Amino acid sequence: MNILHMKYAVKVSEIGSLNKAAEQLLIAQPNLSRCIKELEAALGITIFVRSTKGMSLTPEGEEFIAYAKQVLRQIDDIEKMYQQGIPKKQKFSISVPRASYISEAFAVFSRCIAPDSAEIFYKETNSSRAIHNILSSDYRLGIIRYAASYDKYFKQMLDEKELCYEVVSEFQYMIVASKNSCLMQLPEIRLSDLDSLIEIAHADPYVPSLPMSAVKKEELSEHINRRIFVFERASQFDLLAMNPETFMWVSPLPNQLLARYQLEQRQCPDNKRIYKDVLIHRKDYQLTPLDQQFITELCRAKRAYIHE
């Protein structure tokens, strides 16, 4: 297999256009097309589907590109390792759910980064994107969140994609709202008490093999008439703090965060659903000392804030 052809295929997958990729690679478009075809012939697979809209990856192509990126990264690391005068860069990357105990663990972990050159990526997103980031991007670790009732769907998919997985925590969602919210004046919060309020929610639930409509129906109560969908945690907390009519379902929050935004969190006895946060990475990926340090802080934060 020609490594240069592999690099060409990765570039085409990133841009989605043969012509634009050829321009960036400084080669003629027919030559690039020939190289891609030779690579596909050598592998015995079809990497790209060609159409008037550009180049899109086939399922086999997605798998190949993910492996190709990993091989090219290793080649790059080897080259840098033996180049004189270039220190080895600390690297860490992870995709996580929008969870405050995880972000608190990451903040503490950041103190462990040595003064040498470092490249750190921390991305909050949904489970689908976290898995995609490991398979098709440069992310090494991920944490996915899902209801325990969907366990078989996720485990089957993770096994098929050859990803290692380990449960970090199991918990029930809490209700968080402003201290001035009417909810916080109640001796006990029931689901019916939420109907007249505004829910702050995510619009991107995901379960493999199930249609989005079915997942949303189960994740988002039909009794709530008013919702604000917000994907960024700081804005969620601003809304909760400034509008006492709002509430949100969350994994347990650190006390210092509740105090900062003048929020309270309470349990709802009607909510029996269990959720899982699961750490994932490729089976062929060896955890680095930096990865291990983050996992240590993650476990510490979990013990501090989540009581299973």
Q: Which residue has the higher pLDDT, 25 or 175?
A: 175
| pLDDT 10s digits, 71-110 | 888 888 777 666 655 556 788 999 999 999 999 999 999 9
Alpha-carbon gap, residue 91 to 73, rounded angstroms = 12
| pLDDT 10s digits, 280-296 | 999 989 999 999 999 99
Residue burial 189-219, b: 16+ Cβ < 10 Å; e: rest: beeebbeebbbbbbeebbbbeeeeeebeeee
- Look at residue 87 and give its three-state secondary structure: coil
Mean pLDDT of the chain: 89
- All structural domains of the chain, each given as residue ranges with its CATH number in brackets, are 3-73 (1.10.10.10), 90-167+275-305 (3.40.190.10), 173-266 (3.40.190.10)
Strands 226-229 and 163-171: unpaired
Alpha-carbon gap, residue 276 to 150, rounded angstroms = 10
So what's the pLDDT on residue 86?
57
Q: How many H-runs (helices) and E-runs (strands) does the chain carry? A: 11, 12
So what's the pLDDT on residue 32?
87
- Specify the DSSP class assigned to residue 249: E
- Give me the helices (H) in the chain, please: 3-15, 18-25, 29-43, 59-81, 100-109, 127-136, 151-160, 212-219, 233-242, 255-261, 289-305
So what's the pLDDT on residue 77?
74
- Specify the DSSP class assigned to residue 96: E
